[in-house]
Structure 1
Amino acid sequence: MVLLDGKALSAKIKEEVKFEVEQIVKDKKITPGLAVILVGDDAASATYVASKEKACKDAGIYSVVHKMPSSITEQELLETINMMNNNPKLDGILVQLPLPKHIDTTTVLESINPLKDVDGFHPYNVGRMVSNLDSFLSATPFGVMRMFEEHKIDLSGKNIVVIGSSDIVGKPMASLLINAKATVTVCNSRTKDLKSHTKNADIVIIAVGVPYLLKADMVKDGAVVIDVGINRLENGKLVGDADFEGLKEKCSHLTPVPGGVGPMTIAMLLKNTIKAANLREKREAK
């Protein structure tokens, strides 16, 4: 079994980004900039944002974290985003999700300049991704695709099951796989007899937030399993949506949790920020 080590691969990508930043600073005389908006005091979100901030600093990317109380109005948040849209030093804007219930997430995401949408959530970028056109890709699926590329896992013609249909992972993941000429089945919480779908899959990608949902008897010998889920058990242990111990003797490739897909998300966010920095002239010309 080949362990798909996202921690090691993300470190490699961050070194690539650091070099790309140096080239942009040298050639274009600009420093790539990323703004992150954090609303409220959710501990998990705060930890994730801190990791993004550190990754930017290490790569030489200018980073600003704009913290706002959970009591802010939707209009106040939209005004802040508009200010960032008009700030030429900020190449990427990221709104940390989830947002408080009184704020409409779709309205907020649609207010971000598509050329600064480094999370790849704006309908403009989603539409271009589905159409297999150049766009900002959602960081987690983008990271999974980079893992496939790194390990030379051919997707063309493969039967792939995606478990989970979220806008953040499941849907964009399926689109990228379809663009890679795979045969894709998307399962969700209402899928009947999940095992009947996964048992014949060459590759299974799971992202639902249910500990150990995917077990060894649900996949065929030699399957590739990508576990996007991350769950904290009552004892504090972090585990995935797949039963790693049960699957490791059966799979050809398997991601661990933690240390698998998770680190790739931030690495690909940095990649998107570099892409946005290279589009700065195009934005300013509009």
Structure 2
Amino acid sequence: MVIIFDGRVFAESKKKLLRSKVDNLLKHGVTPALVSIYSDRDPGSVLYTRIKVKAAEEIGAKFFAVAVAEKEIAKIIKIVKSFNTDPKIYGLMVQHPSHKEDVISYNWVKIIGAINPKKDVDGLTEKSPYTSATVKAVLTILDYAEKVLKIDLKGKKFVVIGDRGMVGRPLITELVGMRYEVRGCNSETKNMGQVTQNADILISAAGKPGLIKKDMVKEDVVIIDVGSPRGDVDPEVARRVKFITPVPGGVGPVTVVCLLENLVEACYTTRDTHLSGSS
């Protein structure tokens, strides 16, 4: 019997725990505040920002969505730096546009490079002390799958599709660090279907709808679909698997909560002293 992971329900349970931590911060005069800079000309960015605003409000945190229509990269970076020095802002992120032609996409490395690493709660840069929110979500779901399926992930063969991307690259680094056997794939991988057929755990972050067909996976595989806004995995594949995350409603909601977890952690880290002990 296939288990279709309900990311929304899972995320709600984690929000309750976060709410108690935020209440503790508020009692000590600390209000978790996150700024997200996004392009209001990109429909995907507008949608994802709206979802994050709602989630932040539900746990009692502040979420400031800053839309930029600037075409001059210097002005956008200036906006980023202005929040770097604001002591009331504990987290700062930039929403990656769904369209490559957006000015933020063109200058992505420069823009995120301007973020103060200590406020990089989305884990966008290498110097950030926080695990990428999406990567953290995947690892959290894997931990859940291991428990609910009563399996041991050690010794299982992992395949990550999209190993050069924003999610795939850091995810592989984390999995290797956890001593899992991992194989990465990308658009240049020959005979990708043969590679994926050997996977016990298949994680796809290619951003190519319907890329994974049912003849590319073996029976009872565990699949984590990070594709967005539509899934990388063809719906027919669900008939062959043991565990799968749907799109939407799978990794996405958990990613948002993981972002907020990082924000709350940033508040405790910044204010440390007695706060961490009373959380």
Query: What TM-score comes out, normalization by structure 2 length?
Result: 0.89
Equivalent of 1:179 in 177, 188, 210: 177
Matches within 5 A, 1:107-118: 107-118=110-121
CA RMSD across the alignment:
1.7
Kept in 1: contact 2:104–2:111 (CA 8 A): no
Relative to structure 1, is the Cα distance of residues 89 and 156 closer, same or farther in structure 2, using a 3 angstrom cutoff? same
Q: Distance in 2 between matches of 1:262 and 1:227?
A: 10
Aligned to 1:6: 7
What secondary structure sits across from 2:14 in the alignment?
A: helix
How many pairs align? 263
Aligned-pair distance for 1:150? 2.1
1:162 Cα deviation from its structure 2 partner: 0.4
Question: Tell me, what secondary structure is at the counterpart of 2:63?
Answer: strand
Per-residue deviation, 1:30? 0.6
1:209 Cα offset (Å): 2.1
Q: Distance in 2 between matches of 1:101 and 1:82?
A: 15
* Residues in 1 aligned to 2:248 and 2:104: alpha-carbon distance in whole angstroms: 29
Given that 2:210 and 2:233 are in contact with CA atoms closer than 8 Å, whether structure 1 keeps it comes out as yes
Distance 1:201 1:33, change over 3 A: same
Instruction: Give the Cα separation in 2 of the matches to 1:31 and 1:154.
Output: 40
- Paired residue type of 2:25: I
Alpha-carbon contact 1:162-1:187 (below 8 Å) kept: yes
Distance of 1:101 and 1:117 partners within structure 2: 17
Is residue 89 of structure 2 the alignment partner of residue 86 of structure 1? no
- 1:16-54 superposed Cα distances (whole Å, 9 cap, x missing partner): 21111012222x321111011123411111111111111
CA contact (8 A) 2:159 2:182 kept: yes
Aligned to 2:192: 194
Report if aligned partners of 1:164, 1:188 keep a CA contact under 8 Å in 2. Answer: yes
Partner of 2:125 in structure 1? Answer: 122
Q: Give the one of 195, 218, 237 matched to 1:247.
A: 237
The match for 1:97 is 96
Q: Which runs of no fewer than 5 residues in structure 2 stay unpaired?
A: 273-279
Q: Does 1:35 align with 2:35?
A: yes
Query: How far apart are residue 165 of structure 1 and its match?
Result: 2.3
Instruction: Indicate the residue corresponding to 1:74 in structure 2.
Output: 73
CA contact (8 A) 2:96 2:104 kept: no
> How far did 1:154 drift?
3.5
Unaligned runs of 5+ in 1: 126-134, 232-238
TM-score, normalised by the number of residues in structure 1 = 0.87
1:101 CA displacement = 6.0
Distance (Å, rounded) in 2 between the aligned partners of 1:63 and 1:69? 19
Name the SS of the counterpart of 1:160 in structure 2: strand
Task: Give CA-to-partner distance per residue, 1:185-244, whole Å, 9 cap, x none.
Answer: 11000100001111111100011122221122211111101111135xxxxxxx411123
d(CA) in 1 for partners of 2:24, 2:218: 46
Contact 2:159–2:202 (Cα < 8 Å) also in 1: yes
CA distance in structure 1 between the aligned counterparts of 2:23 and 2:106, rounded to whole angstroms:
38
- Structure 1 segment 121-270 matched on structure 2, within 5 A: 121-125=124-128, 135-151=129-145, 152=147, 154-231=152-229, 239-244=230-235, 246-270=236-260
1:103 shift after superposition: 5.5
Cα distance in 2 for partners of 1:106, 1:221 equals: 40
| 1:155-174 residue CA offsets vs partner (Å, 9 max, x unmatched) | 32221000112442111111
Contact 1:33 1:90 in 2 (8 A): yes
In 1, Cα distance between the equivalents of 2:203 and 2:114?
31
1:23 pairs with 2:24: yes
